[in-house]
């Protein structure tokens, strides 16, 4: 018996990276998956992989910063599968020109906030009514370890957006705790995904991050998917308004030896 049998899970950014691995993991545990992504080709590949393994999935194109798209995404989920039990707000961006407070372009700040923070809010805005109609469920919002501490490399917009996700998750958790909806934030450290590998292609920049990780390596998408699975499942039924930190020890360390 799967840990998500009978549940419908909507995952944004499921065409690639952590979202895709989570979609496949959740499907393997019995969930029917709504694969939401802006890239139709990548989304279709995730669906095909799930179906090839015997799971059930459907793709919907979405720009999470667009309220009409997010509304349509949730409507699609309800029409296709008749319920929504797990909302995994995973989609996010980290532009290369997101740097210090004085150097980051205003347009970059606005775009990061639109996707990383507003996108999570829109997912909750339209997803919560569907979850209430479905009898409740679990919201998982992807924040970051940088929501808990300053980043070693300047990334002001990304850090601020993830701090907002963490605070918003707590408020949603309190508001809906007695209505059968749980909300928790997942706070990953650096995970080996295509987005991060691009950012860390510079050896010096890569080493500057690795030196702060007590385990001495990047996390794997599978490790984060397992943490998300716990939050999605009934195993975490008394957990809401919390952050689950999966960071290789970064936030526990004061000084990390080279």
Active-site residues, by number, are 158
Q: Other C-beta atoms within 10 Å of 161: how many?
A: 28
Residues 226, 231, 232, 237, CA torsion sign? positive
Asked whether the beta carbons of 138 and 107 are under 8 A apart, the reply is no
Element holding 222 (H helix, E strand)? helix 221-232
- The CA distances from residue 89 to 10, 152, 198, 215, in Å, are 8, 25, 22, 27
- Half-sphere exposure (Cβ direction) of 140: Cα atoms closer than 13 Å: 30
Asked whether the beta carbons of 26 and 14 are under 8 A apart, the reply is no
Q: Which of 256, 241, 163 is nearest to 209 (CA)?
A: 256
Q: Other C-beta atoms within 10 Å of 237: how many?
A: 9
């Amino acid at each position: 018996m799967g840990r998500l049998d009978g549940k419908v899970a909507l995952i944004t950014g499921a065409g690639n990276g952590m979202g895709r691995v989570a979609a496949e993991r959740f499907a393997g545990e019995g969930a029917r998956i709504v694969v939401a992504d802006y890239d139709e080709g990548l989304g279709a590949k995730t669906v095909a992989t799930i179906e090839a393994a015997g799971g059930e999935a459907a793709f919907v194109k979405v720009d999470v910063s667009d309220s009409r798209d997010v509304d349509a995404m949730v409507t699609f989920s309800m029409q296709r599968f008749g319920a929504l039990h797990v909302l995994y707000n995973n989609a996010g961006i980290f532009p290369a020109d997101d740097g210090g407070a004085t150097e980051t372009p205003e347009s970059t700040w606005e775009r990061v906030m639109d996707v990383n923070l507003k996108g999570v809010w829109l997912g909750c805005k339209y997803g919560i009514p569907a979850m209430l109609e479905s009898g409740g469920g679990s919201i998982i919002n992807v924040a970051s370890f940088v929501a808990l501490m300053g980043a070693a490399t300047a990334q002001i917009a990304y850090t601020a957006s993830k701090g907002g996700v963490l605070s918003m998750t707590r408020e949603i958790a309190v508001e809906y705790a007695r209505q059968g909806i749980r909300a928790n934030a997942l706070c990953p450290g650096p995970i080996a995904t295509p987005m991060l590998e691009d950012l860390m292609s510079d050896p010096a920049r890569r080493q500057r991050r690795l030196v702060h990780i007590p385990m001495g390596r990047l996390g794997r998408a599978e490790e984060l998917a397992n943490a998300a699975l716990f939050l999605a499942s009934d195993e975490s039924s008394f957990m809401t308004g919390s952050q689950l930190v999966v960071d290789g020890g970064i936030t526990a360390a004061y000084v990390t030896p080279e």
